[in-house]
Amino acid sequence: MSDEELRSELPPEDDREARRRARQARRQRELDEKEEKSEGWVWMEEKTDEKEEKGEGWGRDPLGGVTAALILISVGLVFMAQTLGYIEWDQFGGIWNLIFIAIGLVLLFEVLVRLLVPAYRRPVLGTLIGACVMLAIGLGGILGSMSVLAVGLIVIGVVVLLSGLFRGRL
């Protein structure tokens, strides 16, 4: 093969240069996409850090820990009262009814603190419903389940209604 035939089979310099630039551009786009994805994680970490600095992070609200501790203490006190003979096991329809009432009261205490103290203000609808359910279970064993269930459903309905009317407050 002659030199001229070889040259004719090779692409012109402009085509090679264009392909090289296209490869470089493709590589650069891939690198940019990877960088954008990693910047997304950095952005999320920055937001988390900002929330923690403002006191909105998980570790900044001591009220949740206090509530959990109060629940454990109240359940322990009910068991201690039963052990020491102040409460009979079948009194109040069973000791579990007192435990559910104690948990419901502690949860209501948390709701009140969150509503009254601006530093701990957060949505409380879920906690309020949980407190109502615990109280309904406990009182249902003592007073009769159907009457307490009816009252509990009415209270939960009113709470949901009020939360819809005062959106963002409960």
Tens-digit pLDDT profile for residues 23-66? 888 888 887 777 766 655 555 566 665 655 555 555 567 888 99
Kindly state the percentage of the chain with pLDDT values over 70: 75
Average pLDDT over the chain reads 78
Tens-digit pLDDT profile for residues 61-99? 788 899 999 999 999 999 998 889 888 877 777 788 889
The conformation of residue 94, written as its DSSP 8-state character, comes to S
Three-state SS sequence of 113-167 = HHHHCHHHCCCCHHHHHHHHHHHHHHHHHHHCHHHHHHHHHHHHHHHHHHHHHCC
Higher pLDDT, 118 or 31: 118
Higher pLDDT, 11 or 150: 150
Which pTM was predicted? 0.56
Kindly state the percentage of the chain with pLDDT values over 90: 16
Describe the crossing of helices 62-83 and 95-116 by its angle, rounded to 10 degrees.
150
Q: Which sequence spans correspond to the domains of the chain?
A: 3-54, 62-165
pLDDT at 77: 92
Question: For residues 170 and 156, what is the distance between their CA atoms, to the nearest angstrom?
Answer: 13
Question: For residues 156 and 7, what is the distance between their CA atoms, to the nearest angstrom?
Answer: 86
Give the Å distances, CA to CA, from 73 to 104, 134, 143. 13, 16, 25
Amino acid in the structure at residue 118: P
- Whether pLDDT at 168 is above 70: no
Question: For residues 136 and 145, what is the distance between their CA atoms, to the nearest angstrom?
Answer: 8
Tokens 């910047």 -> residue: 39
Tokens 């954008």 -> residue: 36
Phi then psi for 121, rounded to 5 degrees?
A: -65, 125
- Whether pLDDT at 118 is above 90: no
First to last CA, the chain: 87
Over residues 132-141, mean pLDDT? 84
pLDDT at 74: 93
The highest-confidence range among 40-44, 159-163, 164-168, by mean pLDDT, is 159-163
8 A C-beta contact, residue 115 and residue 159: no
pLDDT at 44: 58
